[in-house]
Copies of this chain bind each other. A is one copy, B any other.
Amino acid sequence: MSPKVSDEYKNQKKTMLLQAAKSVFLAKGYTKTTMQDVMDEAGISRGALYAYFDNVEHLYMELLQFEDQVNVLFFSPNDDETSWQQITNWVHKQQKEMEQIEQTLTQANSEYFLSIRDSKKQEGETYSTTRYDRIVNALTVLFQSGTKKGELQPRLPAEMISRYLVSFIDGLMLDTAHLGAEKTRVAEQMEALLFSLREMLRPVSGK
């Protein structure tokens, strides 16, 4: 008499299921994906899948958090690069993501967040809120530390610039998700973004 599999086994299995789910979400987006799809993709039974996840929404939620976990690391304090370099790096990373948007959860993410509207009004503090705040905050901190170090001389409040930046990226991602990277001219738009950021942040030259 005993519990039957290690907790590690269960974690591995869960991760496998999340991988299967991810490839379905990449192919079909969030809204059109069903539990059935995930079962088929994972080659697992109905009962087994439901033992791990209650429904598609929970499934996506867990996948999202799992993926976010990986991406947190980007904004670690970094003294090798100037603040402006860190900013342009981040911007280019976003650009890369858009240029291969088919291999990205961007579209599914948008669908997911849009679908939460009803559930959200009840609660108030949702993961999507937290997520938005987190990224805005990370950028704000970056701008502020750059300012303290004398590398930036912002002409607008740091937080305002952060939000502005996030809005632009979200919009370009959305448009690119359904029109494609060529149609939206991702590369050009990124130039325009950097132009704007330079005007807002005034990075001191040479730094």
Contacts and interface: CB of A to CB of B under 8 A. Distances in A.
Interface size class of A (residues with CB under 8 A): 35 or more
Interface string A37-75: 000000000000000000000000000000000000000
Chain A contact residues: over half helix, strand or loop, or mixed?
helix
Contact of A161 (B113, B117, B177, B192): B192
B168 A168 contact: yes
Contact of A171 (B115, B161, B166): B166
Nearest to A120: B178
A87 interface: no
A117 B129 CA distance: 26
Interface in A181-206: 183-185, 188-189, 191-193, 195-196, 199-200
Contact of A114 (B110, B117, B191, B199): B110
Given A132-B183, A164-B192, A171-B172, A177 B114 contact: yes
